Structure 1
Amino acid sequence: MGFREIRTLIDLKKVIAVGEGIHTEFKRKISDPLSVISEMIALANTKGGHVMIGVDDDRSLVGIKYPEEDIYQIDTLVKAHCKPALDFTTTSIKISEKKSVLILTIEKSNKRPHFLLQGEKKTTFVRSDDMTVKASREMKEILRREKSRKDIRFSWGEFETLLMQYLEDHPYITLNEFQKISGLGRFSVSRKLILLVLANVLKVTPTERGDIYSRVP
């Protein structure tokens, strides 16, 4: 586990004091249940962590009255809308006589990428700093293949050299920028970036505006 375990109110307050991040998401209440499932999927696809129900964005402990009902709702929705099946554990920590904080703990999954199913729509998410973002086609492929990294083969040629020269003068590059400077088709550019990430030459950072690629230090 690459994140803090929460068993007591003291543990909870320590994690909340740090704020939201790559491992932590706060929810005042479950107003949009599928949004909570999206957060859980993002954590499972990235580095694992906690979704805390009953904690406001300003880090205040507001609590919920009926954590058992929320657990049932989340469990039902995960089974219906998350593929492959997503494992998680729940912890309820009392903050007052009538209210508790519900903690959903999700480990980094060996079955990633997990998807949110809504009718015919199939979407997956990843965590980037304190945000959950929709995963790109490239990110989905990286998630799928990074578990084994056995079939990573590529040849270093003029376009890889061009890319690294660009990154000597710029902090990062996007798929569209690489396509523009190389003149290659989108599929070829996508494949090269995926392979370079899997080979640990590049680091990919998902953002709301799209993935950015930078050199691994």
Structure 2
Amino acid sequence: MSKSIIQLIKQGEGLTTEFKRTIDSPYKIAKTIVSFANTAGGNLLIGVADNAALLGVESELKELQKLEKALGELIEKKLLIRVKSAQLDGKKIMLIEVDESPEKPHYAINEKAERIIYIRVKDKSLPIPRLLLYGEGDADTGKILASRHVKTLITYLKETDSVNAKVFSKIINISEKRAERMLQDLAAKQILLKISRGKPETFSLKWAE
């Protein structure tokens, strides 16, 4: 059962809660929604200041129009959210509930039409480190990306959304245990994104092209 709007405001901003005075732009809201879906889910309260003061929204319709554009045009793969509203101290507060997605990673499209994966870190929505194959990142990362097994894995993940140790071990003909260690190591080095907590663990690429 979801927490009440009052409880969420009292709790303050954090990993799963963010306050916004208003939806500044569809791009910014897409980023926040994606970061919640890619991490642990979350609640976005519109009409609330950073210090938890209740400001209210002037027009619920205007906020919903920006939200609709974000969901319809600026988020890949599509996400379903829940929108609620309540009157608190005579002010209209909107609550957007986002579940952790079983289909992550999701991308937010920015003003430059770039597809970027965002995750939630503490109370911020941050882009994944973009360890692209363009020599970004440190020398150690460069070496890893240049290795034959990792190149094979990256090629596979560009065509398929995710991989687990069993599949990876068959692709490069090594033991499943060794494949598991390699995948965990690549996730620790911010090259892969761990996308499932269950067994078998699955991984996807951790950058946007």
TM-score of the aligned structures, taking structure 1 as reference length: 0.61
Q: Is the 8 A contact 1:125 1:132 kept in 2?
A: yes
TM-superposition CA deviations, 1:170-203 (whole Å, max 9, x none) = xxxxxxxxxxxxxxxxxxx746746998598xxx
Instruction: Tell me the distance in 1 between the aligned counterparts of 2:177 and 2:187.
Output: 10
Q: 1:190 to 1:72 in 2, by over 3 A?
A: same
Counterpart for residue 136 of structure 1: 129
Residue correspondence of structure 1 range 105-120 to structure 2 within 5 A: 105-118=97-110, 119-120=112-113
SS for the counterpart of 1:124 is strand
Q: What displacement does 1:101 show?
A: 0.7
SS for the counterpart of 2:63 is helix
Identity %: 21
Counterpart for residue 19 of structure 2: 26
Counterpart for residue 59 of structure 2: 66
Residue correspondence of structure 1 range 42-81 to structure 2 within 5 A: 42-81=35-74
Instruction: Tell me the distance in 2 between the aligned counterparts of 1:90 and 1:81.
Output: 18
Instruction: Tell me the distance in 2 between the aligned counterparts of 1:65 and 1:120.
Output: 30
Supply the RMSD in Å over aligned alpha carbons. Answer: 3.5
Q: Is the 8 A contact 1:124 1:135 kept in 2?
A: yes
Instruction: Tell me the distance in 2 between the aligned counterparts of 1:195 and 1:28.
Output: 35
TM-superposition CA deviations, 1:37-73 (whole Å, max 9, x none) = 1111000001101111111110111111211321122
Whether 1:102 and 2:99 are equivalent positions in the alignment is no
Mark the runs of 5 or more structure 1 residues left unpaired by the alignment: 161-188, 201-217
SS for the counterpart of 2:178 is coil
Matched to 1:155, the amino acid is R
Q: What displacement does 1:149 show?
A: 6.8
Whether 1:84 and 2:107 are equivalent positions in the alignment is no
TM-superposition CA deviations, 1:3-27 (whole Å, max 9, x none) = x614xxxx21211111111110110
Q: Is the 8 A contact 1:89 1:105 kept in 2?
A: yes
Counterpart for residue 155 of structure 1: 178
Instruction: Tell me the distance in 1 between the aligned counterparts of 2:85 and 2:127.
Output: 29
TM-superposition CA deviations, 1:133-182 (whole Å, max 9, x none) = 101357xx8xx648x776464529xx99xxxxxxxxxxxxxxxxxxxxxx
Q: What displacement does 1:84 show?
A: 0.7
Q: Is the 8 A contact 1:154 1:195 kept in 2?
A: no
Equivalenced residue count is 159
